[in-house]
């Protein structure tokens, strides 16, 4: 957690909970770390990690482009002024609307299958996504470069797809690889990049090598960058990267209040946030650091262990299992850390819960950057509503 406790208490009082808070300085620092590791590499933020317009504008102002995977994300990119070489349009099953919007904005498409040569708008800019079919050290749902993943074409197919794109009149600029998400082991990346570099005799020189994102928050960026540049150099290519989590995870914290407790063989600490605000613990068994923001007179050794559970009618609705916390009282505040990536963006209105508010700390004050939804907004698209 990067923000002082006093600021977190203020934000919770002012905007209510559950609340996502972001520290602009940490976002800027993460971008600076990426830039210093990757040097001249071009940075495309994978906005699926957190598409809040205020964060997008901040990144755009710093010269960052965007990787988009839906018509909605493309619309967000356009809304904050990104087009041309600041835009990548990706996805394994793009719609006609997505092709048209990407072409109108001059985006580069990441081609995921051979058939796309005939689906892309005329004279599209394109990269071919390669699935290196390697073991990837992350949760199964987060591995995209394994043999069983649905993404990309095989290394053997890739040179032929580049040729087919060119034959169809497209500007096939190079190759793309993204092996998965929340990967900590730099050797997974170097193996994947080396597999691509083996294709150099068949592809010839390329304009672009895009090595995706997927870096865990503690990943060895320098090691990944070195391997990426090694492969880019083999192709004589520019290097492009697409970090999502790394840029925003640490900048974000979910604030939630204690609703109450109960002891039924296990100790449950019930909070006002759960799977509808932060799905990752339930979906991937993700472990987010949880910090108690109340005064703690107890010695740490006397603390009990708690399952931190949300308000949904689902047994899997847990933020954490078996964490040591001081004695909670209703109204006490908990901070769930490393929640800036895939937290708010994967929140849902299941149970007609209002998606949470979001606020940004810019070093001097708080700004509300998304207000809490109302129930009426949740059902607004239903007809008649």
Active site residues: 313
342 forms part of the interface with ligand LLP (CB under 6 A): yes
Q: Which of 243, 252, 274, 281 binds ligand LLP (CB under 6 A)?
A: 243
Strand bridging mode 238-241 / 208-210: parallel
Q: How far is the CB of 133 from ligand LLP (least distance, A)?
A: 16
Q: Is 252 in the site for ligand LLP (CB under 6 A)?
A: no
Any contact of residue 30 with ligand LLP (CB under 6 A)? Answer: no
Q: How far is CA 105 from the centre of its chain?
A: 23
Nearer to ligand LLP, 90 or 131 (CB): 90
Indicate the residue among 38 and 342 with the shorter CB distance to ligand LLP: 342
Return the number of the residue (135 or 380) whose C-beta is nearest ligand LLP.
135
333 binds ligand LLP (CB under 6 A): no
# of chain residues touching ligand LLP (CB under 6 A)? 23
CA–CA gap between residue 348 and residue 365 (Å, rounded): 28
x/- track of binding to ligand LLP for residues 101-140 (CB under 6 A):
----------------------------------------
Residue 10 Cβ vs ligand LLP, minimum distance, rounded to whole Å = 28
The single residue among 280, 288, 355, 370 that binds ligand LLP, judged by CB under 6 A, is 280
Residue 178 interacting with ligand LLP (CB under 6 A): yes
SS3 159: helix
Q: How far is the CB of 205 from ligand LLP (least distance, A)?
A: 23
Question: What is the bridge-based pairing of β-strands 42-46 and 318-325?
Answer: unpaired
Told to check if 49 binds ligand LLP by CB under 6 A, we report: yes
Whether 153 and 113 have beta carbons less than 8 Å apart is answered as: yes
Burial 359-375 (b: 16+ CB within 10 A, else e): bbbeeeeeeebbebbee
Cβ proximity to ligand LLP: between 215 and 306 the closer is 215
Q: What is the DSSP letter of 120?
A: S
Which 186-225 positions form the footprint of ligand LLP (CB under 6 A)? 212-215
* Candidate ranges 174-182, 257-265, 301-309, 348-356; the one touching ligand LLP (CB under 6 A): 174-182
- Contacting range for ligand LLP; rule: CB under 6 A; set: 220-228, 241-249, 258-266, 357-365: 241-249
Q: What is the dihedral of CA 5, 6, 7, 10, to 10 degrees?
A: 120
CA-to-CA dists, residue 258 to 18, 267, 296, angstroms: 10, 13, 15
Shortest Å, Cβ 320 to ligand LLP: 15
Question: Which helix H or strand E contains 160, and what residues bound it?
Answer: helix 158-167
**One residue of 52, 131, 181, 253 binding ligand LLP per CB under 6 A:** 181
Sequence-ordered alpha helix ranges (H) in 80-157: 96-104, 116-119
Q: Which value, to the nearest 10 degrees, does the dihedral of the CA atoms of residues 241, 247, 249, 251 take?
A: 180
Smallest distance, ligand LLP to C-beta of residue 266, A: 26
- Least Å distance, CB 204 to ligand LLP, is 24
* Those residues with Cβ within 8 angstroms of residue 254's Cβ, 6 or more apart along the chain or in another chain: 18, 19, 20, 273, 277, 278, 288, 335, 336, 339, 343, 356
CB of 46: closest distance to ligand LLP in angstroms?
3
Instruction: Please report whether residue 90 would count as binding ligand LLP according to CB under 6 A.
Output: yes
> DSSP labels for 325-360?
EPPP-TT-EEEE-S-SSSSGGG---GGGPPPPEEEE
Taking a C-beta distance cutoff of 8 angstroms, is the pair 276, 260 a contact?
A: no
User: Closest Cα partner for 239 from 229, 247, 224?
Assistant: 229
Choice between 94 and 257, CB closer to ligand LLP:
94
Interface ranges with ligand LLP (CB under 6 A): 46, 48-49, 67, 90, 142, 178, 181-182, 212-215, 242-246, 280, 284, 341-342, 346
């Amino acid at each position: 957690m990067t923000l002082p406790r006093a600021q977190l208490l203020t934000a919770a009082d002012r905007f209510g909970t559950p609340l996502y808070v972001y520290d602009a300085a940490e976002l800027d620092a993460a971008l600076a770390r990426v830039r210093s590791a990757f040097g001249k590499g071009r940075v495309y933020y994978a906005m699926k990690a957190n598409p809040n317009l205020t964060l997008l504008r901040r990144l755009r102002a710093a010269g960052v482009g965007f990787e988009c995977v839906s018509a909605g994300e493309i619309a967000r990119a356009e809304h904050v002024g990104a087009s041309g070489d600041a835009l990548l349009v990706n996805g394994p099953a793009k719609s006609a609307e997505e092709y048209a919007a990407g072409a109108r904005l001059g985006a580069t498409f990441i081609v995921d299958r051979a058939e796309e040569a005939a689906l892309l708008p005329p004279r599209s800019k394109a990269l071919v996504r390669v699935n290196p079919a390697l073991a990837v050290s992350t949760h199964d749902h987060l591995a995209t470069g394994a043999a069983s993943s649905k993404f990309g074409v095989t290394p053997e197919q890739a040179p032929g797809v580049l040729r087919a794109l060119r034959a169809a009149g497209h500007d096939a600029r190079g190759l793309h690889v993204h092996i998965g998400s929340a990967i900590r082991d730099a050797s997974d990346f170097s193996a994947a990049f080396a597999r691509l570099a083996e294709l150099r005799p068949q592809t010839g020189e390329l304009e672009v090598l895009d090595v995706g994102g997927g870096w865990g928050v503690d990943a060895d960026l320098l090691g990944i960058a070195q391997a990426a540049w090694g492969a880019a150099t083999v192709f004589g290519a520019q290097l492009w990267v697409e970090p999502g989590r790394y840029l925003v995870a640490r900048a974000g914290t979910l604030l939630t209040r204690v609703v109450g407790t109960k002891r039924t063989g296990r100790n449950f600490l019930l909070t006002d946030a759960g799977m509808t605000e932060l799905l990752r613990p339930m979906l991937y068994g993700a472990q987010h650091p949880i910090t108690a923001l109340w005064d703690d007179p107890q010695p740490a050794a006397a603390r009990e262990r708690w399952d931190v559970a949300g308000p949904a009618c689902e047994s899997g609705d847990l933020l954490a299992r078996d964490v040591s916390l001081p004695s909670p009282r209703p109204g006490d505040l908990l901070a769930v850390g490393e929640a800036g990536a895939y937290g708010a963006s994967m929140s849902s209105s299941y149970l007609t819960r209002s998606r949470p508010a979001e606020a940004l700390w810019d070093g001097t004050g708080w700004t509300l950057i998304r207000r809490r939804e109302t129930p009426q907004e949740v059902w607004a698209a239903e007809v008649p509503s």
